[in-house]
Structure 1
Amino acid sequence: MIEPPRFFSAADASIAVSHLFVRPDMLITLGFYKRKPGLSREQFSQHWREVRGPLIASNPILSKYLTRYVQHHCVPSNGWPNVGDLEYDGFSESWFDSLEARKEMHALPYFQSEMIADEHRFLDMKATRILMFDNQVVQVGRDYSAEIAAGKA
């Protein structure tokens, strides 16, 4: 298996997945985003949800490479005493069948023209961070991987 480049140490991020089977060769990326200077949190979220989301979700070409995409819009944690906010306005999960699939998607003319241009409309690109990792799964509850692999789940 190709070792993806490390952008953060393992201590910087973690993920827990419940009842989700992840193949050993899959690649998951987390993108951490700050809004472009001059945009409010609401403007950032609206663009990300109503423009960026459809650019990804409505394109059948991208779905050939991207198996899962999730946006997480951060809100202030003022209800939690002694807990600081994440210094980002949101983060995304992008799941790929492999590192090669991610590279192929990023090389597509559509991605290079539409997706890259859109990033510059609402993201502070200097503050954007990407974390790539393989199938690091913390199993919570019953392990369904055998049933999924056998086609019974």
Structure 2
Amino acid sequence: MSYRTDRVRLVSLFKRKPGMTREEFQKYWASTHREIFTSLEITKKNLLKYEQAHTSDAALKQMAEASGVPMADSEWDGMAIFEAESYDKILEIFQSEEYQKTVNPDADKFLDRPKCQLLPLSLVTVIDK
């Protein structure tokens, strides 16, 4: 097994603020917050890829019915995937003054931050089409 040396990923598991519907959360995150985060020069410079993965109750139900395996309700409302050449590049974003002044206060509007989790991931490519 060998880890990729050209990139790393950080996955953030997100939980919405209490009192906010999943639809409200997803709409805000996919529009307003995305625009704020992707407008930062440090984000443009340091990230190779940024993806949002939004949970789907309908898909969860379909998968459970098709597989015959009951699936638990997810405690997560979404997942952000940050891909960069190194963890240092991702840290530069989070530690930047611009991020601290704009992105963090905006995230407090829709995230239950104490319930969110971070997973730094080193990659082993198994299939790559």
Corresponding residue pairs, total: 120
CA distance in 1, matches of 2:101, 2:4: 31
Q: Does 1:41 align with 2:22?
A: yes
Following TM superposition, by how much is the alpha carbon of 1:121 offset from its aligned partner in structure 2, in angstroms?
0.7
In structure 1, the gaps of 5 or more residues are: 1-21, 142-153
Amino acid at match of 2:23: E
Residue identity over aligned pairs, in percent, reads: 26
In structure 2, the gaps of 5 or more residues are: none
4+ runs of 1 displaced by more than 4 Å?
A: none
Amino acid at match of 1:104: E
CA distance in 1, matches of 2:37, 2:126: 28
CA distance in 2, matches of 1:62, 1:120: 19
Once the two structures are superposed, the pairs formed by residues 99-110 of structure 1 within 5 Å of their partners are 99-110=87-98
The answer to which structure has the higher helix fraction is 2
Q: Does 1:24 align with 2:12?
A: no
Q: Does 1:50 align with 2:38?
A: no
Per the normalisation by structure 1, the TM-score is 0.72
Match of 2:121 in 1: 133
Per the normalisation by structure 2, the TM-score is 0.84
After superposition, the CA RMSD in angstroms is: 1.7
